[in-house]
Homo-oligomer: A and B are copies of this chain.
Amino acid sequence: MTEVRYRSDIDVELIDHMGGDHSIVRAARVSSGTAGTPEKDRGLLNMLARDRHGSPFESVVLQFKVECPIFVAREWFRHRVSSFNETSGRYKVLEPEFYEPHGGRPMRQIGQPGKYAFEEGAYEQKVQVKAAHKRLATWAWDEYTEMLDAGIAREVARNVLPLSLYTSFFWTVNLRSAMNFLSLRWAHEESTVPTFPLYEIQQGAMKVEEHAQAIAPIAMEMFNKHGRVSP
């Protein structure tokens, strides 16, 4: 019998990329025609982020492979200015990987005492949440595999799988659109945008940001400096 596996992480692997700080500067300089020094390049990137001259940031393109539960992927796919290719439950047999809330630090708050209030949750709540996730995962996986064994179509059998199932997708996105994603999916302390992202997608956003910082460090510094608003 297949072993069902559990994960709590959001995995974001950098697959490919184009450009960096220099590409943004190069594209912006087409407009003004001025020459640059490293100091002037910093100043230009600062001005572009501050004054919302967004299009030069589209000269940097990132491609990621993301592994996350379906309930996270559903939010991610709302970002229309980017490209997606996802594992298909119609074309392949899916993998038995499911989400369970992790108990590490920082912790996923599982209690909701009021309409918009969250708290860590009591021990019994944690036990119940973990058990419920595991029961549904194993029950659903058993039904799924039994249907496949009985010759039932993959695209029908997968309907019983829960939103906690892991999926994987390629995400191609330019830096401007990635900044918009970050402004909405990470309630960063330097952010001026009021946003209340889902805990799990924020874990993914943090990893996207790390990759973006490695590729375009000055652009990302200016994004932070000017309130983390997409330019």
CB-CB contacts of A40-81 with B at 8 A, as 1s and 0s? Answer: 000000000011100110110101010001110010011011
Quick one: given A121-B152, A162-B162, are A31 and B91 in contact (CB under 8 Å)?
yes
Asked whether any CB of chain B lies closer than 8 Å to the CB of A194, the reply is: yes
Contact status B140-A136, CB under 8 Å: yes
A19 to B15, CA, bound (A): 10
In this complex, which of A32, A70, A83 has the most chain B Cβ atoms within 10 angstroms of its Cβ? A83
A61 to chain B, nearest CB (A): 5
Residues of B contacting A38 with CB < 8 Å? none
Q: Is B153 touching A111 in the complex (CB atoms < 8 A)?
A: yes
- Please give the distance in Å from A90's CB to the nearest CB on chain B: 7
Contact status of A147 and B161, CB under 8 A, knowing A27-B85, A78-B84: no
Q: Give the docked Cα–Cα distance between A33 and B95 (Å).
A: 11
Distance, CA A170 to CA B31, complexed state (A): 9
A65 — which chain B residues lie within 8 A by C-beta? 30
CB pair B30–A168 under 8 Å, yes or no, is yes
In the complex, what residues of B have CB within 8 A of residue A101's CB? Answer: 156
Is there contact, CB below 8 Å, between B172 and A156?
no
CB neighbours (8 Å) of A32 from chain B are: 88, 91-92
* CB contact under 8 A between A153 and B19, given known A33-B92, A168-B30: no
- Closest residue on chain B to residue A136 by CB atoms: B160
Which residues of chain B are near A34, meaning CB under 8 Å? 92
Given contacts A51-B196, A58-B172, A74-B74, 19 further A-B contacts (CB under 8 A): A15-B26, A17-B18, A28-B85, A33-B87, A52-B183, A52-B195, A55-B85, A61-B61, A61-B172, A70-B74, A112-B152, A112-B155, A121-B151, A124-B150, A128-B147, A129-B147, A132-B160, A135-B139, A160-B164
The 8 A-B pairs with the shortest beta carbon distances in the complex, nearest first, are A18-B18, A58-B83, A112-B153, A80-B80, A136-B160, A33-B92, A27-B85, A159-B164
